[in-house]
Amino acid sequence: MAQVLEFKLPDLGEGLTEAEIVRWLVQVGDVVAVDQPVVEVETAKAMVEVPCPYGGVVTARFGEEGAELPVGAPLLTVAVGEGAEGHRPAADPGTDGGAARAGEQPGARERRSEGSGNVLVGYGTSEAPARRRRVRPQGRASGVTAGAGTAGAGSSGAGVPGRANGRVRAAEPVDGPVPVISPLVRRLARENDLDLRELTGSGPDGLILRADVEYALRAAAAQGGRAAREAGPHPDGTVREQALAATAGATATAGAAVTEPAGVAGSAVPPGDVRIPLKGVRGAVADKLARSRREIPDATCWVDADATELMRARAAMNAASGPKISLVALLARICTAALARFPELNSTVDTQAREIVRFDHVHLGFAAQTDRGLVVPVVRDAHARDAEALTSEFARLTEAARAGRLTPGELTGGTFTLNNYGVFGVDGSTPIVNHPEAAMLGVGRIVPKPWVHEGELAVRQVVQLSLTFDHRVCDGGTAGGFLRYVADCVEQPAVLLRTL
C-alpha cells in the first residue's frame, strides 16, 4: 500500500529561516525520483534548487510561486511504495494544506527514515518532532484575519480561510498562552491594536514572529485600500457605507504599518504609487548596508593614479599564448600584496569581546551587479592564487551570480572587498563597508586625462582609487599607506614584483 510522506522546506544553512518559492519544477501527479529537484527557492543569499529525498508520485504542493515559507513548513507530499501510481489526487489543492491531507489513507501521516537524506544543511528524512497543535474555539471571528484572507484572494489559496500568499493565519482566535517570545513583536502588535491571539505563528511550534505581525498589518491595509477605491461616488451621488466602514476598520488595525502621503490623511495610498517589498537579495543587501552604517565609523580617502603602465603590462601578458588575464585579477593581486603589508585592514571588530580580529588569510569579495540586485561573491584564499587562477575564479563566480546560482558559502566569509564601480562609467565613489569587514577598495573608470609624466604634460590613462575603512581598526596613516602602495603598484607594476 502506498504511503504519503510530507517533505518540508529544509534548513538552507547560514542562519536562513525562510525562502521564497520562485518556480515549481514538478506538478501534482508527476512521478519524481529520489533527490530530484522539485522546487526552486530564493533566500536572502542565493537561488537554490531543493531536491526531494523521496521517490514517488507528487500528491500535493504547498505554496504558490512568489509565496514565502518558513523553514520546516510543508513543501509537498509524495506517495511512495507499491500502488503509488494510483495515488493521484483529483485536483491540485494548491496551498490548501487541509485539502491535501483530507484524502490520506490510514497511516499516511507516519514518517519513516527511508530516503536519501541529501537535503541540504541540517535536515534529513527521519522523523521530525511533533509540532504542537493549537486549539481554535468556534464562534469568534477575526477582523484582521479576514482581511488577510481576502488579501490573498486570486491566488490558488483563494477561499481558504486565513491563508494569503503562502502564509497561514488562524481563522479564529485561540485560547491559552500566546506563543510570543520577542518583546518587539508584542510592542508592534500593541501599538497597532492587533490581538496576537488572532494569529497563528509561522515559527517553530507556532511561535509568532515579527514577520507574522507585519504580514497581518499589510494584509489589513491592502484590504482597506481596495475598500476605499470601491467606496467612490456612485452615479446617484451616494457612497457605499459598507466599504467606508471596512476602510475605517482596516486603517485602525494597520496603524503605523502604512504611512499615508501628506494631504490624503484618512484615504488610501494613491493607486499610481508602487510598493516594492524589501525581501530576498534586495532585502538582505538593505539590512547589511543599514547595519554597516549603524555600527561602523567609516572614513574614506582617495587618490588619482596613472594606470598607463598597468594597462600596458596587461596587454603584454595577454599578447602571449595562454589564458587572458583580466584587469580585476591584477587589481586583486595588488590588493592581496597591500594587505600583506597593512594587515590591519584585513580584519573585523568583535564588538562582544571588544577585540580586533586580524585574519591570516584573504577571502576577497568583489561587488557584482545582477538582475536580482547587488551581490558580493567571495574568492577564497585569494592571497594564494596567481593572476591566471584569479581570472578564472572571478569569471566563474560572476557567471554564477548572474544566473542566480551562487551558494550561501560563496557569498559569505569575505575579509576584504574590491569594488570596481568604474564599469558603470563613474570616476569615484564613497562605498559602504561590507559588514563585518573593515575596508573596501573602490576603483573608478580608467580614462585618458592630461597628466604630468616625467616633467612633461601628456595624455595618460588615469584612474581614481578610493579606500573606505573602519576607523576602529586603524588610523589615517595606515589607510593612507595602504592606498598609496596600491597606487604605486598601479603606476609601476614592477613595485608589485619586488614585493612578491
Digit-coded pLDDT (tens) for 352-408: 999 999 999 999 999 888 877 788 999 999 999 999 999 999 999 999 988 888 888
CA distance 492 to 61: 61
Highest mean pLDDT among 165-169, 316-320, 343-347: 343-347
| Known catalytic membership, residue 471 | yes
* pTM of structure: 0.54
**What is the overall mean pLDDT for the chain?**
75
Grid coordinates representing 394? 572571478
Strand 163-164, strand 439-443: pairing: unpaired
Strand 74-80, strand 347-350: pairing: unpaired
Is the model's pLDDT at 292 over the cut of 70?
A: yes
What structural domains and CATH numbers belong to the chain? 3-102 (2.40.50.100), 143-257 (no CATH), 291-499 (3.30.559.10)
Q: Which of 361, 363, 453, 471 is catalytic?
A: 471
Q: Do 439 and 339 contact (CB within 8 A), yes or no?
A: no
CA distance 369 to 231: 44
CA distances from 478 to 341, 351, 392, 443, 484 (A): 10, 21, 31, 19, 10
Digit-coded pLDDT (tens) for 414-473: 999 999 999 889 999 888 999 999 999 999 999 999 999 999 999 999 999 999 999 999
Is the model's pLDDT at 336 over the cut of 90?
A: yes
Grid coordinates representing 247? 476602510
Digit-coded pLDDT (tens) for 353-364: 999 999 999 999
pLDDT interval class at 42 (50, 70, 90): confident
